[in-house]
Amino acid sequence: MRRRATPYLLLAPALAFVTLLFVIPLLYNLVISFFDWSVIRTPTFIRLENYQRVWTSARFLAVVKNTVTFSLLSVPAAVVISLLVAMGFHSLGNSRGSSVLRALYFAPVVASLTAVSYVWVWIYHPSYGLANALLNGLGRPGLDWLTSPTQVLPSLAVMYIWARIGFNAIILLAGINAIDGTYYEAARIDGASRFQQFRNITLPLLNRQLVLVITVEVMNTLKIFELPFAATKGGPVGASRSVVMEVYEQAFRFDRWGQSAVYVVTLFVGIMVITGVLRRLLVRDISE
């Protein structure tokens, strides 16, 4: 007979780590958010004051606006391009050339977002960068890619999309490859156009992977940190400062850990609500 306790013993390390790395930090963070918490003074309990201070500050509204704008600029484009790339790969089939091609698209995925930052800071360089050289070659004036408050978020979105296409395309491609080819054959026999096939076969049968890609991208863009931190330091004049950058700055620069914790709570709840709503809206249960 197996001992009753065995499975629990096997699970004990995992549960210990779940407690240490997830449960305690989440609760701890909530506690900090109710305190005037500093590393040099004794923390004092101030109830909801941090929430009130943060949520009514102009800085909070600015970083939320920047982050949401960045997300809106990045996610739809990243998803659409990734889907097109995945469909392109699917139609190419499994030839040798296609695996080399896949490697090209996937290459930026292995780069850290810090490396991605410097790749593009150099491309966007005002005098020696490739981007402005190309524009000048086309007879157009160069752009202030990362130095203009209105241009900086689109420029960062380009960097982000570039870095993520390969990853998303692989997930979507796995989903497309799993679709039974006879559906398309039947649709063709019925005279369905390519667009109709896409709408009525590909999209619904790819629903799970699409929802996954969309929610992951929404999450990733809302918690963006490396790109604005390394490429622009949140500038110019705070135009690219993100929520997570503010988490870092409030704690480590201003020693206002309580307010930093409020940003964390806001981010966490925000991501939960937004991805939850998205799932509600997007998930289609298709039972055959």
Partner 1 sequence: MLLGGLLIVAPLLWVFFSALKRPDEILRLPIQVFPEDFTNLSNYKDLFIRHNFGQYFINSFIVAAIGIASSLVVALLASYAFAFHRFRGREALFVLVLALFMVPPEALVIPQYLMIAELGLVNTYLGLAFPDLFTVLGVYLLRQFMEGIPFSYVEAARMDGASELKILTRVITPMVTPAIAVFVIMKFLFSWNAFLWPLLVAQNQSMFTVTVGLVDFAGAEFNQWNLINAATIMSMLPMIILFVSLQRYLVRGVAMSGIK
Question: Of 46 and 171, which CB lies nearer to partner 1 in the complex structure?
Answer: 171
Binding of partner 1 by 282 (CB under 8 A): no
For 8, 9, 25, 194, 287, the CA distances from 16, given in Å and listed in that order, are: 11, 11, 13, 53, 39
Tell me how far apart the alpha carbons of residues 25 and 215 are, in angstroms, rounded to a whole number.
24
Question: Which residues, 6 or more positions from 40, have their beta carbon under 8 angstroms from its beta carbon?
Answer: 255
Binding residue for partner 1, selected from 115, 135, 187, 278, defined by CB under 8 A: 115
**Cβ nearer to partner 1, comparing 127 with 190:** 127
Q: Which two tokens stand for residue 146?
A: 């990362």
**Which C-beta is closer to partner 1: that of 184 or that of 248?**
248
Q: Which two tokens stand for residue 55?
A: 């949520």
Asked if 125 touches partner 1 (CB under 8 A), the answer is yes
Q: Specify the stretch interacting with partner 1 by CB under 8 A; choose among 71-79, 95-103, 148-156, 188-196.
A: 95-103
Instruction: Please provide the distance, in angstroms rounded to a whole number, between the alpha carbons at the two ends of the chain.
Output: 43
Tokens of 38: 């500093």
Instruction: Restricting to residues 220-279, name those near partner 1 by CB under 8 A.
Output: 223, 225-226, 229-230, 244, 247-248, 251-252, 257, 260-261, 264, 267-268, 271-272, 275
Contact track, partner 1, 155-174, x by CB under 8 A: -------x--xxx--xxxxx
Closest approach, Cβ 185 to partner 1, in A, equals: 24
The residue to which tokens 């940003």 are assigned: 263
Minimum CB distance to partner 1 smaller for 187 or for 216 = 216
CB of 83 to partner 1, least distance (A): 13
Taking CB under 8 A as the criterion, which residues in 1-20 touch partner 1? Answer: 2, 4, 6-8, 10-11, 13-15, 17-18
| Residue 274 C-beta: closest distance to partner 1, Å | 12
**What are the angstrom distances between the C-alpha of 66 and each of 98, 140, 151, 220?**
38, 28, 12, 14
Provide the minimum distance between the beta carbon of 106 and partner 1 in the complex, in angstroms, as a whole number.
7
Binding residues among 63-92 for partner 1 as defined by CB under 8 A: 85, 88-89, 92
Taking the complex as a whole, how short is the minimal distance between the CB of residue 40 and partner 1, in angstroms?
A: 13
Nearest to partner 1 of 80, 107 (CB atom): 107
Site residues (CB under 8 A) for partner 1, limited to 181-200? none
Torsion of CA 67, 72, 75, 77, to 10 degrees: -140
Asked if 281 touches partner 1 (CB under 8 A), the answer is no
Q: Report the nearest approach of partner 1 to the CB of residue 242 (Å).
A: 10
